[in-house]
């Protein structure tokens, strides 16, 4: 079992700083997801762990050994790419066995391992085909097989599902999770898709602007986002944000007081500018005009099957609310939004950090 | 496409077809005639007897097909003082073309590979320098190259001709391969490195098998270019390694007494037979190679 540690890692392209001061401790057998928007450096970080990207400063430890300057093949890693990166002129069997041949593994042993992996991933009927004769899902399955056959302690996935259509993506997602449960290898998975991150990860590392924004379990990331960026990036539709000013323990939003005391451990001083965050599922729509919630106008209603997504507006403020499919709201209705006080997320207006 | 979309243009084409089509065909036919008449004259003249040629019927078919002019051009036509025919030049051209093409492609492919996949220091500077060298008209470089080859003892030798051909071919072959390799996803290179493949392993096991179309294109270009070359062979080959083109010129220009048009025509056709064969047999590959940039493996 192999853990991975990154110590104060920095990466530069010439004068441009891509990553700075990355510290990350990945215990053996953990499934960790690096999540972030494109250009945040998550793929660069993965390439650095693989040894495909030079490191400007810091250290990479794999299985407690300093691997910072070790060749990719000697790091005990396997990698799966977004573009599959199958060798086009080799059969599936050739693709699976190439790494083992290079490593001079004995012929019978290669055959045994290829057969084992082909069975595990159900690609046995494809072994003699060329990559061009496979569908996208089959190709990625083969690419995963090529990684598994290496018997590596650490698996690196670089957005492996991003080129697939929605149905295949969720199928293969389950398959990758099953693979992890079976192999118990350390897996480092890069994606910009927060659903993949939530469903697969033991722990999510959210990255943006060259640094780690937050790391934690999917539950922590979702329920206690460290700042407005993480709060907005994780969750679909995104969390709603309301600008407010503290007055008498409540946040005054657009002239209406919203009680927030239950979401805070300590009351805030009057006059402090805050951002009140609330997820679409943490609000309820009341048709009656009781005056206890936020008064809004219904803008658009999207029926999703099991629920309805109601887009509301109040002046310049837009809010999305998840309502049961039985809800009978129509565009133009004036309704009250009940905000679950304990589920509010309060961020500092200046820094965007959670209070 | 929906049926509604496909119908309208089809109908318009059907109406516009007769006139514009006829014009296009007319233009193509005229162009083809202009291009093919000289070839036709060459072929029929090569079969005619001198008597028939003298009668001035340039375009008529030969009364009798005589192969003796072909035989003479190949075996006994005089080039200067020697009368051994073109076959000497054919052998020389062969000895020059095959190693030059193989070496140029090998060197160009490896250079293109290094430039596109490995972070070579000053790669862009090197590549630019190479291209500038490649776009120089090579007549300008003849004299310096004569000095260089004579200094290193390659002047007037087979190796010298091959060396010069490889030098001239390198920029364009490198450019071809570099651009072809640039279209190959970098992930493939990364995957191979994780699998443990080094510099040569990746090149031979993965890149080269993918490069067959490009090798064919470079091969066609270089075979025709080097086979048709005149000046490099003339200057660097000396008397012993004069290629076929040089010998052809000598046959045509060194005539005592009557000009044997039929022998000269036969000699010219024999000289051009290799490039023609290359075009006819590998045109398919050529098109595929040119188009391969658009096709992702």
Window from A16-25, A158-167, A262-271, B26-35 with minimum mean pLDDT: A262-271
In this complex, do B194 and A50 lie within 8 Å of one another by their Cβ atoms?
Answer: yes
Sign (positive or negative) of CA dihedral B12, B14, B17, B19:
negative
In this complex, do A77 and B297 lie within 8 Å of one another by their Cβ atoms?
Answer: no
| Position B250 confidence tier, pLDDT thresholds 50, 70, 90 | confident
pLDDT(B296) > 60: no
Window 41-80 of A: residues touching B by CB (8 A cutoff) are 47, 50-52, 71-73, 77-79
Q: What integer is the mean pLDDT of B203-229?
A: 90
Instruction: Please state whether beta strands A294-303 and A256-259 pair in parallel, antiparallel, or not at all (unpaired).
Output: unpaired
pLDDT digits over A297-330, tens only?
Answer: 999 999 999 999 999 998 888 999 999 988 888 9
DSSP-derived secondary structure for B111-144: HHHHHHHS--TTHHHHHHHHHHHHHS-HHHHHHH
pLDDT(B4) > 60: no
Q: What order of strands is seen across the sheet that includes strand A186-191?
A: A77-80, A154-158, A186-191, A31-35, A203-208, A211-216
Tell me B207's DSSP state. Answer: I
pLDDT digits over A160-194, tens only?
Answer: 999 889 899 999 999 999 999 999 999 999 999 99
pLDDT(B5) > 50: no
Q: What is the pLDDT of residue B36?
A: 93
Q: What integer is the mean pLDDT of A101-126?
A: 94
Closest residue to A85, CB basis, from B190, B196, B205: B190
Distance CA A181, CA B223 (A): 58
Mapped onto helix, strand or coil, the DSSP state of residue B49 is: coil
| Position B77 confidence tier, pLDDT thresholds 50, 70, 90 | confident
Window 103-132 of A: residues touching B by CB (8 A cutoff) are 103, 131-132
Is residue A36 exposed (0-12), middle (13-18) or buried (19+ Cβ within 10 Å)? Answer: buried
Spatial CB neighbours of A263, under 8 Å, sequence gap ≥ 6: A341, A342, A343, A344, A345, A346
pLDDT digits over A256-283, tens only?
Answer: 888 888 888 888 888 899 999 999 999 9
Taking the CB of residue A3, how many other CB atoms lie within 10 A of it?
A: 17
Q: What domains appear along chain A, each with residue ranges and CATH number?
A: 4-233 (3.40.50.300), 240-348 (2.40.50.140)
Sign (positive or negative) of CA dihedral A172, A173, A175, A180:
positive
pLDDT(B107) > 80: yes
Are A207 and A36 in contact, with CB atoms under 8 Å apart? yes
Among B119, B184, B191, B205, the residue to mutate for chain A (most A Cβ within 10 A): B191
Distance from CA of B288 to the nearest CA of A (A): 17
Instruction: Please state whether beta strands A307-314 and A240-247 pair in parallel, antiparallel, or not at all (unpaired).
Output: unpaired
Distance from CA of A35 to the nearest CA of B (A): 20
In this complex, do A81 and B191 lie within 8 Å of one another by their Cβ atoms?
Answer: yes
Question: What is the widest separation between alpha-carbon atoms in chain A?
Answer: 78
Closest residue to B185, CB basis, from A85, A102, A131: A85
Higher pLDDT, B2 or B260: B260
Average pLDDT over chain B, rounded to an integer? 85
Say yes or no: B193 contacts chain A, CB-CB below 8 A: yes
| Position B255 confidence tier, pLDDT thresholds 50, 70, 90 | low
Q: What integer is the mean pLDDT of B65-77?
A: 85
* Sequence ranges of the domains in chain B: 3-66, 87-294
Q: What is the pLDDT of residue A287?
A: 74
In this complex, do A99 and B196 lie within 8 Å of one another by their Cβ atoms?
Answer: yes
In this complex, do B191 and A85 lie within 8 Å of one another by their Cβ atoms?
Answer: yes
Instruction: Using CA coordinates, name the residue in chain A closest to B195.
Output: A99
pLDDT digits over A327-354, tens only?
Answer: 888 998 888 898 888 899 999 999 999 9
Say yes or no: A332 contacts chain B, CB-CB below 8 A: no
**H helix or E strand, kind and range, residue A58:** strand A57-62
How large is the ipTM?
Answer: 0.87
Window 223-282 of A: residues touching B by CB (8 A cutoff) are none
Higher pLDDT, B92 or B59: B92
Window 28-47 of A: residues touching B by CB (8 A cutoff) are 47
Closest residue to B206, CB basis, from A78, A87, A158: A87
Q: What is the pLDDT of residue A52?
A: 93
| Position B3 confidence tier, pLDDT thresholds 50, 70, 90 | very low
Taking the CB of residue B208, how many other CB atoms lie within 10 A of it?
A: 16
* A283's tokens: 């609000």
Q: What integer is the mean pLDDT of B192-196?
A: 94
Q: What is the pLDDT of residue B294?
A: 38
Chain A residues closer than 8 Å to B191 by CB: 79, 81, 85-87, 146
pLDDT digits over A229-263, tens only?
Answer: 999 999 989 999 999 999 988 889 888 888 888 88
List b or e across B263-283, with b for residues whose CB sees 16 or more CB atoms inside 10 angstroms.
Answer: bbbbbbbbbbebbeebeeebe
| Position B297 confidence tier, pLDDT thresholds 50, 70, 90 | very low
In this complex, do B210 and A73 lie within 8 Å of one another by their Cβ atoms?
Answer: no
| Position A295 confidence tier, pLDDT thresholds 50, 70, 90 | confident
Q: What is the pLDDT of residue B85?
A: 85
Q: What is the pLDDT of residue B131?
A: 84
Q: What is the pLDDT of residue B291?
A: 56
Q: How many whole angstroms from its chain centre is CA B253?
A: 25
Mapped onto helix, strand or coil, the DSSP state of residue A323 is: strand
Q: What is the pLDDT of residue A15?
A: 86
* B204's tokens: 């031979």
0.95 exceeded by pTM: no
pLDDT(B282) > 90: no
Distance CA A97, CA A91 (A): 10
pLDDT(A204) > 90: yes
Q: What order of strands is seen across the sheet that includes strand A317-324?
A: A283-286, A334-339, A294-303, A307-314, A317-324
Question: How many beta-carbon contacts under 8 Å exist across A and B?
Answer: 64
Distance CA A247, CA A269 (A): 8
Q: What is the pLDDT of residue A142?
A: 95
Q: Determine what percent of chain A is predicted with pLDDT higher than 70.
A: 98
pLDDT digits over A114-142, tens only?
Answer: 999 999 999 999 999 999 999 989 999 99
Q: What integer is the mean pLDDT of B126-153?
A: 87
CA-based Rg of chain B, rounded to a whole angstrom? Answer: 25
User: Domain B87-294: which CATH class?
Assistant: mainly alpha
Which residue in A298, A302, A324, A322 sits closest to A312, CA to CA? A298
| Position A219 confidence tier, pLDDT thresholds 50, 70, 90 | very high
Q: What is the pLDDT of residue B126?
A: 86
Chain A residues closer than 8 Å to B192 by CB: 87, 98
CA-based Rg of chain A, rounded to a whole angstrom? Answer: 24
Chain B residues closer than 8 Å to A81 by CB: 187, 190-191
């Amino acid at each position: 079992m192999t853990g991975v540690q990154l110590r104060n890692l920095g990466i530069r392209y010439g004068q441009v700083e891509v990553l700075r001061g990355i510290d990350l401790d990945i215990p053996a057998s953990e499934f960790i997801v690096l999540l972030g928007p494109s250009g945040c450096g998550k793929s660069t970080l993965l390439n650095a762990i693989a040894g495909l990207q030079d490191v400007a400063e810091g250290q990479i430890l794999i299985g407690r050994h300093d691997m910072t300057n070790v060749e990719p093949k000697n790091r005990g890693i396997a990698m799966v790419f977004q573009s599959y990166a199958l060798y086009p002129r080799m059969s599936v069997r050739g693709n699976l066995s190439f790494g083992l041949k290079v490593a001079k593994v004995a012929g019978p042993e290669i055959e045994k391992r290829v057969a084992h992996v082909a069975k595990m991933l159900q690609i046995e009927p494809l072994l003699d085909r060329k990559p061009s004769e496979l569908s996208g899902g089959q190709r990625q399955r083969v690419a995963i097989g090529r990684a598994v056959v290496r018997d590596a302690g650490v698996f690196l996935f670089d957005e492996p599902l991003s080129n697939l259509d929605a149905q295949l993506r969720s199928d293969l997602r389950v398959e990758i999770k099953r693979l992890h449960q079976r192999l118990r290898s350390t897996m480092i998975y890069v994606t910009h898709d927060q659903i993949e991150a939530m469903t697969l990860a033991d722990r999510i590392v959210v990255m943006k602007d060259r640094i780690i924004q937050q790391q934690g379990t999917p539950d922590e990331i979702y329920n206690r986002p460290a700042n407005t960026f993480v709060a907005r990036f994780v969750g679909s539709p995104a969390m709603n944000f309301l600008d407010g000013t503290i007055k008498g323990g409540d946040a005054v939003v657009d002239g209406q007081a919203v009680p927030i005391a239950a979401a805070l451990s300590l009351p805030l001083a009057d006059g402090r500018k805050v951002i009140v965050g609330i997820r679409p599922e943490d609000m309820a729509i009341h048709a009656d005009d009781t005056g206890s919630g936020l008064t809004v106008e219904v803008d658009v209603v999207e029926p999703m099957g099991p629920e309805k997504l109601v887009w509301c507006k109040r002046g310049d403020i837009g809010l999305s609310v998840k309502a049961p499919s039985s809800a009978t709201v129509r565009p133009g209705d004036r309704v009250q939004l009940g905000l679950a006080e304990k589920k509010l997320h309060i961020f500092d207006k200046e820094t965007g950090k959670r209070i | 496409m929906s049926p509604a979309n496909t119908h309208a243009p089809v109908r318009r084409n059907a109406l516009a077809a007769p006139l514009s089509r006829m014009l296009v065909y007319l233009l193509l036919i005229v162009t083809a005639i202009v291009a093919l008449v000289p070839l036709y004259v060459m072929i029929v003249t090569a079969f005619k007897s001198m008597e028939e040629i003298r009668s001035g019927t340039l375009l008529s078919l030969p009364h009798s097909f005589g192969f003796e002019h072909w035989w003479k051009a190949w075996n006994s036509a005089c080039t200067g003082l020697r009368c051994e025919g073109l076959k000497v030049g054919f052998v020389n051209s062969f000895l020059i073309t095959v190693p030059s093409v193989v070496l140029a492609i090998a060197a160009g492919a490896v250079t293109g590979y290094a430039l596109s996949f490995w972070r070579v220091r000053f790669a862009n500077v090197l590549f630019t320098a190479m291209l500038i060298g490649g776009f120089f008209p090579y007549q300008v470089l003849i004299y310096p190259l004569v000095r260089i080859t004579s200094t290193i003892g390659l002047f007037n030798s087979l190796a010298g001709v091959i060396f010069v051909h490889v030098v001239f071919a390198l920029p364009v072959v490198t450019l071809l391969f570099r651009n072809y390799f640039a279209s190959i996803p970098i992930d493939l290179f990364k995957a191979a490195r994780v699998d443990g493949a080094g510099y040569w392993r990746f090149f031979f096991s993965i890149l080269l098998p993918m490069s067959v179309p490009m090798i064919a294109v470079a091969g066609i270009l270089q075979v025709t270019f080097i086979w048709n070359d005149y000046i490099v062979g003339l200057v660097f080959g000396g008397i012993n390694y004069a290629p076929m083109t040089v010998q052809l010129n000598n046959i045509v220009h060194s005539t005592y007494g009557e000009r044997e048009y039929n022998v000269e025509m036969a000699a010219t056709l024999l000289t051009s037979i290799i490039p023609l064969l290359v075009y006819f047999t590998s045109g398919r590959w050529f098109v595929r190679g040119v188009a391969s940039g658009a096709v992702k493996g």
